[in-house]
């Protein structure tokens, strides 16, 4: 590599560092919404593929300048959209190293350092979440791929338990029943379709979205053969948790595999204060979660965890003459569907190393406290109502009529102090706040409640009629 290339790394990274620092210095105070939509950003980009190349530092400047007005301040302590986390300094910095090192973390032998760091991160996660030591851990792009990874393992395991060979294909196997509660996340539905399990049979749910365990039992009793049950830790609207202890017991009697989608909710298991929400969780067979949500590592990082590590390797492992492997030890590519990938578990290690166990507990408790404080603040505003039982990080806000609630959501997002999603829950339009950023403190809550109060006033919500 010539000196010229070395200089280009240095100048391009210096520019990237300056732009990143500028973004991070201003992200908490800029309007949360983007200034431009995608078409607005497209208008700032040269649309024709250039014939000639450009210096790396100039490319970085051009990118940052074109993109900046179209960036959403997801790192703002007052961003509550979807369920998205911010990023911790140690995790972000580690992510930069991951890119610079460029280790294709599939196999322990060629990339020993990142494979080893990820193994430690995986063990720490299993420990923090109270799951069985020795469970297999895979770092996927997100909870969708983690759900898919786990459901593929589940599918194969229950087929094998019924005496068939999953490698022969689903056509040769007994049909697998796939069951879930009515509030099943769309990502589990997608993972069901991709895995060949199909769209789940829904067995009912209560008013918060918790699976109807009696309905699950009836559905399992109504059929026979292999079955996979998907439970949920953290509903995207209410934040509620299924009754794992009861549901696992019912599933066990039917010989079913139990998978838990805990994209953000699984983290409640790290908090002694929230333990009551996850009783029985550790008795499931597999779990999917995200580090890019609650743990606040940069996008992207999902985590697939399977109690029976050998089952995980049997379903997801790949073999080829050129892939070095030590027979008795799983490689990273044995736990996810990818052969090639970035070392996305390394920022997880960095986040956990910087927080320690105590810091993770404080993070999770802090998110739940902020959600409770938001709900309490909203309840004081005339004409507003919190629809869900706020047990974790989700708050669904509504007014007396759907059109006004929709208008309040739009007003809030346009005003720019805060950003929350509009959605529909239990037949009503809601503005949904998902507290997922480590920076959402009492001050952020106060400013958010103030913004909502201003919106309610501006829209005449709660004003006496006439």
Ligand X SMILES: *Cc1c(COP(=O)(O)O)cnc(C)c1O
Question: Residue 182 or residue 385: which is nearer to ligand X going by CB?
Answer: 182
Q: How many residues bind ligand X (CB under 6 A)?
A: 13
Is 360:352 a contact under the CB 8 Å cutoff?
yes
Region near ligand X per CB under 6 A, out of 171-179, 217-225, 260-268, 377-385:
260-268
Of the candidate residues 60, 143, 197, 381, the single one contacting ligand X (CB under 6 A): 143
Question: Residue 229 or residue 456: which is nearer to ligand X going by CB?
Answer: 229
Question: Residue 75 or residue 166: which is nearer to ligand X going by CB?
Answer: 75
Residue 39 is classified by DSSP as: H
Work out how close the CB of 212 gets to ligand X at its nearest, in angstroms, rounded to a whole number. Answer: 18
Of the candidate residues 142, 298, 345, 455, the single one contacting ligand X (CB under 6 A): 142
Long-range contacts of 312-315 (CB under 8 A, 24+ apart): 312/136, 312/138, 312/149, 312/153, 313/136, 314/153, 314/156, 315/152, 315/153, 315/155, 315/156, 315/157, 315/166
183: contact with ligand X by CB under 6 A = no
Question: Residue 263 or residue 351: which is nearer to ligand X going by CB?
Answer: 263
Q: What angle do CA 244, 330, 307 make, to 5 degrees?
A: 10
Distances (CA, A) of 440 to 87, 269, 373, 410, 447: 12, 20, 11, 21, 10
290: contact with ligand X by CB under 6 A = yes
Question: Residue 263 or residue 412: which is nearer to ligand X going by CB?
Answer: 263
What's the rounded Cα separation, in Å, for the pair 92 and 83? 19
335: contact with ligand X by CB under 6 A = no
27: contact with ligand X by CB under 6 A = no
Region near ligand X per CB under 6 A, out of 124-132, 138-146, 175-183, 399-407:
138-146
Buried/exposed code over 126-137 (b: 16+ C-beta within 10 A; e: otherwise) = bebbebeeebbb
Q: Where are the alpha helices (DSSP H) in 81-212?
A: 89-101, 112-128, 143-161, 186-195
What's the rounded Cα separation, in Å, for the pair 111 and 125? 21
Region near ligand X per CB under 6 A, out of 1-9, 114-122, 248-256, 258-266:
258-266
Work out how close the CB of 334 gets to ligand X at its nearest, in angstroms, rounded to a whole number. Answer: 21
Is 222:192 a contact under the CB 8 Å cutoff?
no
Question: Residue 363 or residue 461: which is nearer to ligand X going by CB?
Answer: 363
Of the candidate residues 68, 212, 242, 261, the single one contacting ligand X (CB under 6 A): 261
Of the candidate residues 166, 192, 209, 302, the single one contacting ligand X (CB under 6 A): 302
Of the candidate residues 15, 155, 177, 185, the single one contacting ligand X (CB under 6 A): 185
Region near ligand X per CB under 6 A, out of 197-205, 217-225, 256-264, 305-313:
256-264
Question: Residue 302 or residue 366: which is nearer to ligand X going by CB?
Answer: 302
Is 434:82 a contact under the CB 8 Å cutoff?
yes
What's the rounded Cα separation, in Å, for the pair 166 and 189? 21
87: contact with ligand X by CB under 6 A = no
For the chain, the residue count is 466
Exposed, middle or buried, 239 (CB in 10 Å: 0-12/13-18/19+)? Answer: buried
Buried/exposed code over 372-402 (b: 16+ C-beta within 10 A; e: otherwise) = bbbbebbeebebbebbbebbbbbbbbbbeee
187: contact with ligand X by CB under 6 A = yes
Is 185:236 a contact under the CB 8 Å cutoff?
yes
Of the candidate residues 76, 103, 144, 388, the single one contacting ligand X (CB under 6 A): 144
396: contact with ligand X by CB under 6 A = no
Q: How many CB atoms are located within 10 Å of the residue 339 CB?
A: 14
Of the candidate residues 75, 86, 192, 234, the single one contacting ligand X (CB under 6 A): 234
Six token digits for residue 48: 């024709």
263: contact with ligand X by CB under 6 A = yes
Region near ligand X per CB under 6 A, out of 73-81, 142-150, 251-259, 270-278:
142-150
Of 397, 394, 396, nearest to 371 by C-alpha is: 394
Work out how close the CB of 352 gets to ligand X at its nearest, in angstroms, rounded to a whole number. Answer: 18
Q: Where are the alpha helices (DSSP H) in 185-285?
A: 186-195, 213-221, 244-253
Work out how close the CB of 108 gets to ligand X at its nearest, in angstroms, rounded to a whole number. Answer: 26
Of the candidate residues 264, 267, 333, 419, the single one contacting ligand X (CB under 6 A): 264
Region near ligand X per CB under 6 A, out of 109-117, 121-129, 160-168, 259-267:
259-267
Helix (H, G, I), strand (E, B) or coil at 180: strand
124: contact with ligand X by CB under 6 A = no
Please report, as residue ranges, which positions from 47 to 86 form the binding site for ligand X (by CB under 6 A).
Answer: 83
236: contact with ligand X by CB under 6 A = yes
Helix (H, G, I), strand (E, B) or coil at 139: strand
What's the rounded Cα separation, in Å, for the pair 69 and 187? 30
Region near ligand X per CB under 6 A, out of 141-149, 342-350, 382-390, 458-466:
141-149
Binding site for ligand X (CB under 6 A): 83, 142-144, 185, 187, 234, 236, 261, 263-264, 290, 302
């Amino acid at each position: 590599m010539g000196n010229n290339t070395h200089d280009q790394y240095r100048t391009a990274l210096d520019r990237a560092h300056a732009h990143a620092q500028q973004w991070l210095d201003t992200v908490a105070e800029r309007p949360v919404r983007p200034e431009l939509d995608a078409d607005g950003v497209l208008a700032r980009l040269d649309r024709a593929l250039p014939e000639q190349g450009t210096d790396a530092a100039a490319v970085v400047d051009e990118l940052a300048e074109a993109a900046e007005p179209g960036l959403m301040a997801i790192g703002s302590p007052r961003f509550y959209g979807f369920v998205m986390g911010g990023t911790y300094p140690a995790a972000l910095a580690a992510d930069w190293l991951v890119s610079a090192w460029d280790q294709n973390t599939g196999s322990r032998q060629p990339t020993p350092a990142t494979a080893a760091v990820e193994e430690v991160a995986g063990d720490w996660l299993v420990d923090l979440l109270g799951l069985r030591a020795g469970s297999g851990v895979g770092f996927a792009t997100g909870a969708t791929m983690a759900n898919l990874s786990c459901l593929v393992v589940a599918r194969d395991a229950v087929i094998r338990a019924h005496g068939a060979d999953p490698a022969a294909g689903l056509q040769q196997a007994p049909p697998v029943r796939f069951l879930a509660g009515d509030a099943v996340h769309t990502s589990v539905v997608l993972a069901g379709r991709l895995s060949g399990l199909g769209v789940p049979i829904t067995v009912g749910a209560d008013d918060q979205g918790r699976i109807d365990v009696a309905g699950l039992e009836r559905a399992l009793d109504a059929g026979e053969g292999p079955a996979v049950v998907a439970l949920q830790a953290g509903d995207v609207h209410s934040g509620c948790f299924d009754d794992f202890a009861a549901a696992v017991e019912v599933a066990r009697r039917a010989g079913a595999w139990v998978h838990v989608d805990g994209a953000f909710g699984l983290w409640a298991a790290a908090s002694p204060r929230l333990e009551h929400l996850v009783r029985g969780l550790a008795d499931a067979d597999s779990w999917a979660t995200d580090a890019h949500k609650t743990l606040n590592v940069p996008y992207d990082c999902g985590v697939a965890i399977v109690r029976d590590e050998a089952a995980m390797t049997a379903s997801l492992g790949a073999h080829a003459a050129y892939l070095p492997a030590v027979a008795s030890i799983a490689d990273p590519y044995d736990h996810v569907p990818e052969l090639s990938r970035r070392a996305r578990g390394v920022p997880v290690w960095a986040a956990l190393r910087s927080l320690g166990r105590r810091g993770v507990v404080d993070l999770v408790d802090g998110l739940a406290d902020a959600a409770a404080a938001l709900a309490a603040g909203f309840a004081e505003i005339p004409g507003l109502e919190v629809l869900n039982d706020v047990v974790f990080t989700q708050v669904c806000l509504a007014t007396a009529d759907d059109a006004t609630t929709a208008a309040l959501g739009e007003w809030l997002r346009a005003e720019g102090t805060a950003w929350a999603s509009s959605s529909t829950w239990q037949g009503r339009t809601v503005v949904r706040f998902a507290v997922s950023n480590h920076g959402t403190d009492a001050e952020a809550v106060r400013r958010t409640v103030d913004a909502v109060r201003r919106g309610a006033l501006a829209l005449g919500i709660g004003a006496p009629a006439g």
